[in-house]
Amino acid sequence: MAITSAKQAIVADLKEKLINAKGAVVTSYKGLNVAQDTQLRRKLREAGVSYHVVKNTLTRIAAKEAGFDELAKHLEGTTALAISNDDAVSPAKVIYEFIKKNKLEETEILTIKAGLVDGQVINVEDVKELASLPSREVLIAKILGSMQAPVSNTVNVLQGVIRKAVYVFDAVRQQKESA
């Protein structure tokens, strides 16, 4: 295949996007209708993810130049790339949730071929596992809750001791008043 200057520019752009990507998902979109595609693109855009239909040959060249030889073997049939430079989880989460919500798992209208996380090519199962992770905010909240639990438990134990002492003093007071 003769590579013209326009195709070289596309390859260079794809290579740069792949190298700079924190997370990416390679999908097959065979049979996706216009309404579904528009809805998917809107959700990806809201999550800060760029979505491009790509030519396999040019993407394969860009992947090999970027050092992602393993990604090149997934570039067959209809191919689209969802890439995020900010978050490794967003592309996987949005696409997988879209597939589940629209019940596209069995129909193979939109399928996940592979993923890319911080320079590592991952398989379909890993992409699905990545998509099932809680959001960053939820994970931070869980960590803070775990860190806060021992302190709050200690406070509750100390309050219990004080509370029992107050009950004892109150019982002594009531006993002396009734005597």
Q: What is the pLDDT of residues 95-124, one digit of tens each?
A: 988 888 888 777 778 888 899 888 888 888
**Domain count across the chain:** 2
CATH of residue 83's domain is 3.30.70.1730
Is the domain of 140 the same as that of 94?
Answer: no
- What is the tens place of the pLDDT at every residue in 123-144? 888 888 888 887 778 878 888 8
Is the domain of 9 the same as that of 79?
Answer: yes
Is the domain of 179 the same as that of 128?
Answer: no
For 151-176, what is the mean pLDDT?
Answer: 82
How would you classify residue 47: left for phi > 0, otherwise alpha for psi between -120 and 50, otherwise beta?
alpha
Q: What is the span of the domain harbouring residue 162?
A: 134-179
> Which residues lie below 8 Å from residue 6, measured CB to CB, with a gap of 6+?
none
Measured from the Cβ of residue 141, the count of other Cβ atoms closer than 10 Å reads 12
CA–CA distance, 90 with 124 (Å, rounded to integer): 15
Nearest Cα to Cα of residue 30 among 121, 83, 118, 107: 107
- What is the tens place of the pLDDT at every residue in 66-99? 888 888 888 888 889 999 888 888 898 899 888 8
- What is the tens place of the pLDDT at every residue in 32-76? 888 888 999 999 999 889 998 888 889 889 888 888 888 888 888
Counts for the chain of helices (H) and strands (E), in that order: 7, 5
Is the domain of 165 the same as that of 103?
Answer: no
Amino acid at site 6: A
Backbone angles phi, psi at 17, to 5 degrees: -65, -40
Is the domain of 158 the same as that of 87?
Answer: no
Q: What would the two tokens of residue 94 be? A: 């949005």
Percent of the chain with pLDDT over 70: 98
**Is pTM beyond 0.95 here?**
no
Is the domain of 76 the same as that of 49?
Answer: yes
